[in-house]
Structures are given as structure tokens and as C-alpha cells.
Amino acid sequence: VRIAAVKAVSSLTQIVETEEQATAFKTLIGPLVRVVEAALQQGHEDTAVLAIEIFDDLVECNVVFSAQDLPDIVKFMLHIAANTHLQTGTRSQALTFLHWVCKNKPKVVTRNQLLPAILNVILPMAAEPDEHDEEEEESPSTLAASTLDTVALSLPGTQVFNVAIEGIGQYSQSTHPNQRKAAMTLLGILSEGCAETMRRQLDQLLPFALKAFEDPQALVRVGAATCIGQFIGALRVPAAGDIEAV
């Protein structure tokens, strides 16, 4: 019954055209959250994913959420995304919701100071070992990187960089190679959305990234190479200019 109800609601979101219709969906937000919670508690992740997809649709069609509903749902989705006991597909769907919120309603994120909470989920996720099932399209680390890219492109670059760089700095000093690699990967990803801010700090960021080439772990050195490549593309770092000078 629950699955049938979720599918029925999902089909209705495809025909939302008027402001009145969009507003009517507000009454479904609470019940949908409870459906996701119950489904996850009972191990019915497929049902939870279907319900989360409805939230994606509601954000896309600009359903009018209350001032508190949307921030609460963002926190709920972050809780799901951070849960390493869930399937990657379930966590991915939660991050997809965050993607649409950042793109369509960025002021909700900044106004409610949700950026630190988002990055507190992305950083550990980016450092997860790449042990996902071969049948799954993306690993948790790839999903985290993609989410950060959306965040950096959708929100004010200076705000994103200032919050992210603290965690990246901590991860770069970690004893765990996956965390050191994640630091390089995420720093490179920031270079597109936070380009203006990062160009002003390039004299510090470039040596920081180059130092990772001295790391004893190959995966960290690969991450550093990727980071420098993104610097060259996004920050207009000459491939054989500023780097040689450093």
C-alpha cells in the first residue's frame, strides 16, 4: 500500500503547473518524511528512494515550502547521505535532493547556515574507500565530489571556500591516505566555482597542492596531479610558469 501511494504521488508531481497546485503539495511534506523514515527503519530502501525522488520533483517544480520545512528536510537528507550502512543508491538520492536545493534555492542554504552541515557530510564521504559494488554507477567518494561541485557553482564562492578549506586543511594532515587524497580532490573541484577567491590565494594554494606530490602514497599523488590539472584549467595557472616558479 505504501509503495502504491508513493508512486501515485510521484505521478502527480509531473502535472504540477499552477501555483495553487504546487501549494497543495505542501500538505504532503510531513507524511512523505514519515514514509522515508519508516521505510529506512524497516530496510525498505527502494521505497525510501521513491519517496525521496518526490522531494526532488517538488523542489524542481518550485513547490512553496515553509520557512522551516526545507531546512529541516535538507538536514534529514544529510543524515541519510552520511549513513554508511545504507546502499549507495539511497545515499545518492539524498544528495540529488541537495543538488536541486543548491541550484534552485541557494538562499535557503545560506540564510539557514546549512553550508557547514553539508560540507561536514561531503568531506567524510569523499574519503570513503572505493569499495562500491561494480553494478553501482558511482562510489560514495564520486558522489561527494559531484555534490561539492554543485555547491561551489551554486552558492557564493567565497563562503564555500572559507568553510571548505578548514576541513580540507585538516584532511591534508590526516594519517589516513584516503583523507589526504580527498583533500586534494575536493580542493581541485572547488577551483571552478570558487575561482575568483582561489586566484587571490594562489601563492598559498599552489605550494599546498604541490606538497602532496611528496606523499608516500600513490593515491594521494594522483589526487594532487588531478588537483593541479584543475588549477591549470580553472585558475589560469600556466602549466610551465607559476608551477616551475614554486
The domain limits of the chain are: 1-129, 156-246
DSSP string, 90-114: HHHHHHHHHHHHHHH-HHHHHHTT-
Measure the CA–CA gap between 60 and 25, rounded to whole angstroms: 13
What is the pLDDT, as a whole number, of residue 234? Answer: 92
With 60 as the cut, is the pLDDT of residue 142 above it?
yes
> What mean pLDDT do residues 200-207 have?
94
**Cell match 584549467: residue?**
233
Closest CA to 77 of 107, 109, 104: 109
Q: Please report which confidence band the pLDDT of residue 245 belongs to, taking 50, 70 and 90 as the band edges.
A: very low
C-alpha of 62 from chain center: 20
With 70 as the cut, is the pLDDT of residue 217 above it?
yes
Exposure string for 34-61, b = 16+ CB within 10 A, e = fewer: ebbeebbeeebbebbbbbbbbbbbbbeb
Is-contact 228 185, C-beta < 8 A?
no
- Give the model confidence (pLDDT) of 60-73 as tens digits: 766 667 777 889 99
Q: How far is CA 154 from CA 70, 107, 186, 190, in A?
A: 17, 10, 16, 12
- Give the model confidence (pLDDT) of 12-27 as tens digits: 555 555 566 656 667 7
Q: Is the dihedral of CA 45, 48, 54, 59 positive or negative?
A: negative
What does DSSP assign to residue 25? G
What is the pLDDT, as a whole number, of residue 69? Answer: 87
Which cell goes with 90? 539511497
156-246 maps to which CATH number?
Answer: 1.25.10
Measure the CA–CA gap between 148 and 244, rounded to whole angstroms: 29
User: What element of type H or E holds 167?
Assistant: helix 157-172
What is the pLDDT, as a whole number, of residue 1? Answer: 40
Which cell goes with 119? 560540507
Query: Which range among 54-63, 156-165, 190-199, 215-224 shows the weakest confidence by mean pLDDT?
Result: 54-63
Tell me how long the chain is.
246
